Amino acid sequence: MRRGDATRERLLTETTRLVHRSGFARTSVNTVLQAAGIKKGALYHHFPGKDELGLAVLARARTAFLAFIDTALTAPSPLEGLDRFFAAALQAHRDMGFVGGCLWGNTALEMSDSSPAHTEIVARVFEEWISRMERVIRAGQEAGQIRTDLSAGDLARLVVAGIEGGIMQSRLKKHEGPLRSCLASLRVLLVKEDYGRPGA
């Protein structure tokens, strides 16, 4: 890695950490420079300004998040994929002590009314997340594991909404209880009533 690339990488890593924790409005260029240990000129060598740095943070985080989803959903059966995803999501937020929450949910609420560029990336990530959940839920419906009275798309949208809302409640309490409860309820509600019953 060239020295310039290493600087760019450190800038992105530190900005991601700060934005995840405090949001875009409260992450100043000076905080970023201090955290990354670089001079203002080096930042502007890599990014025209704070907004472009922020968008690069989201673009990089998107790649990591989609990989996280795909890894978690890979399982012997659709329902096991959902279970693994739920467990991985709970573990990720538990590891952070329910600090920071979901970068996508945070940015959605912070930027939806003020920055079309941020909103476009976040809206796209939500649709990519929902469409991956939809695919596994549809496979679960076809395998007789998941209820079919609601479309896979509608169920996927609610699953993502329920997870974001659960993270919100767990962050408020700094406790896994609310997110764990939401995930457990979603699983009960998704599973086909007679799935796994003897004779079904």
Residues that bind a second copy (CB under 8 A): 21-23, 25-26, 99-101, 105-106, 108-110, 112-114, 119, 122-123, 126, 149-150, 154-155, 157-158, 160-166, 168-169, 171-174, 178, 181-182, 184-186, 188-189, 193
Least distance from a second copy to the Cβ atom of residue 189, Å? 4
Query: Computed from CA positions of residues 121, 125, 126, 131, in that sequence, does the dihedral angle turn out positive or negative?
Result: positive
Q: Which is nearer to a second copy, 80 or 165 (CB)?
A: 165
Q: Which is nearer to a second copy, 66 or 150 (CB)?
A: 150
Least distance from a second copy to the Cβ atom of residue 85, Å? 16
Least distance from a second copy to the Cβ atom of residue 182, Å? 5
The rounded distance, in Å, linking the Cα atoms of 81 and 186 is 14
Least distance from a second copy to the Cβ atom of residue 183, Å? 9
Residues 93 and 176 sit within 8 Å (Cβ to Cβ): yes
Q: Which is nearer to a second copy, 65 or 126 (CB)?
A: 126
The rounded distance, in Å, linking the Cα atoms of 157 and 193 is 21
The rounded distance, in Å, linking the Cα atoms of 168 and 163 is 9
Q: What are phi and psi of 25, to 5 degrees?
A: -60, -40
Q: Which is nearer to a second copy, 38 or 155 (CB)?
A: 155
State the burial class of residue 141 (Cβ atoms within 10 Å of its Cβ: 0-12, 13-18, 19+).
Answer: buried
For 172, other C-beta atoms within 10 Å of its C-beta total 11
Q: Which is nearer to a second copy, 77 or 114 (CB)?
A: 114
Q: Which is nearer to a second copy, 53 or 152 (CB)?
A: 152
**Bridge partners, residue 146, by sequence:** 191
DSSP letter (8 states) at residue 138: H
